[in-house]
Amino acid sequence: MECSDYNLTRHVERENLNLNPLQRAGMLTPEARRALYEFGDGYSVCDYCEGRLDQVNKPSINGFLDDLAKFIDADIVRTTHGARESKYIVINKICEPGDTIVVDGNAHYTSHLAAERARVNIIEVPDSGDSKHEITMDKYRETLENAIDDVGEIKLALLTHVDGDYGNVTDAKKFGKICKDLGVVSLLNSAYGMGRMPIKTNKWDLDFVVGSGHKSMAASGPIGVLAIKDEHAEDMLKRSPRHEKKEVELLGCTSRGTPIATLMASLPKVVERVNKWDEEVKLSRDFVDKLTEIDGIEQVGVRPTNHDLVRFDTPVLHEIGKNHSRKGFYLYEELKNRNIVGIKRGQTEWFKCSTYGMSKNQRDYIADSFKEIVEKYK
Ligand SMILES: *Cc1c(COP(=O)(O)O)cnc(C)c1O
């Protein structure tokens, strides 16, 4: 057996401009790349552990969790293995099997699976039904009120802060208020938000907020963040009677190696970049403006965009593929020749992409490349 048989190389995505929204904000900082090497051994953060991962002080996991809590305006923070694990932990603890929760219509599949695994039913808040696919808080309130009337009790409501299909940003603050008014526990899924944009857990009156280190916080992952409001801490972080130091819902210890070490190493730069979110949105809008100058390319979702993840309908690219000898693969190949990757091979009817963290020049270069490709085959 040779490990070279496993094809463990990866240079295309690292050496080219990568548009894959999933990967843009999970790229490591130089500091995280060093931590990756330093903490690569198994259980590497456990050298000085006295039984509680969140209290380890070499490396300073306790100090890091305090800083992270401050960063997202939360009372208490724990790490998990991903946004999905955070969601499952919350749903499973707050609800009983057979309960019903309310979830927005743009929810990630992992929200559905977390609910299924916790054996709860889902009532969906429909989107605007047009090309904006917007989840409005009026509709959310209406759906939640009706659900309470129909079912009797709704213990938990989940809102996707930024959805992964359109990059629509929902009104987390209004959501927090609606849930508080109606006495429903609120859970904000900010996998595409936390680490990119400011999060105000307490100011927005949210009970739980989850984030994803490998999606949006420059960490190798898998690692998730779980922000908990004080009043839920005792219940959520209950200790085992047999193992008095261990928090049961977290199965004692969660992330314990490079996932958390890289998240820690990146945090200062993540804090910095979140302060520049407005600039990022502006650059993203400029990119959308430039790309949609092309006839036959249109942005889908709320316009102008409030996020770096954007979705486009691209009939002009699809038409070209119909007559091209390489069929739909021409687009991938033309882009790759220009050192641009991250759009699925063969896909031409639509795509979603992100230019998060790129310079203006790089974004212009990408938009110009699309223009060139369309010109070439028009
Ligand atoms: C990527 C994504 C997730 C999954 O995050 P993990 O940390 O990998 O579990 C959940 N929700 C949304 C909206 C996402 O975009």
Q: Is the pLDDT of residue 371 over 90?
A: yes
Residue whose CB lies within 8 A of the most ligand 1 atoms, among 113, 135, 192, for a mutation test:
192
User: In percent, how much of the chain has pLDDT > 70?
Assistant: 100
pLDDT value at 76 more than 90: yes
- Cβ of 212 closer than 6 Å to ligand 1, yes or no, is yes
Phi and psi (nearest 5°) for 181?
A: -55, -40
> Where residue 312 falls among pLDDT bands split at 50, 70, 90?
very high
pLDDT in the model for residue 11:
83
Which atom of ligand 1 is the closest one to the Cα of 214?
Answer: 7
Mean pLDDT over each residue of the chain, to the nearest integer: 97
What pLDDT, in 10s, does the model give residues 160-207?
Answer: 999 999 999 999 999 999 999 999 999 999 999 999 999 999 999 999
CB contact at 8 A, 297 and 314: yes
Pocket test for ligand 1, best of 85, 108, 352 (most atoms within 8 A of CB): 108
- Indicate the top mutation candidate among 215, 220, 352 to test ligand 1's pocket, ranked by most ligand atoms within 8 A of CB: 215
pLDDT digits (tens, 9 = 90+) for 258-302: 999 999 999 999 999 999 999 999 999 999 999 999 999 999 999
User: Could you tell me the two tokens for 218?
Assistant: 């420059």
* Mean pLDDT of all residues in 219-242: 98
pLDDT band (50, 70, 90) for residue 342: very high
End-to-end CA distance of the chain: 50
The pLDDT score that the predictor gives to residue 108 is: 98
Residue 14, pLDDT above cutoff 90: no
Q: Give yes or no for residue 332 having a pLDDT over 90.
A: yes
Report whether residue 224 contacts ligand 1, using a CB cutoff of 6 Å. Answer: yes
Distance from the CA of 90 to the center of ligand 1, in angstroms?
15
Strand partners, 162: 169
* Spatial distance between the Cα atoms of 378 and 158, rounded to a whole number of angstroms: 45
Q: What does the pLDDT average to over 53-79?
A: 97
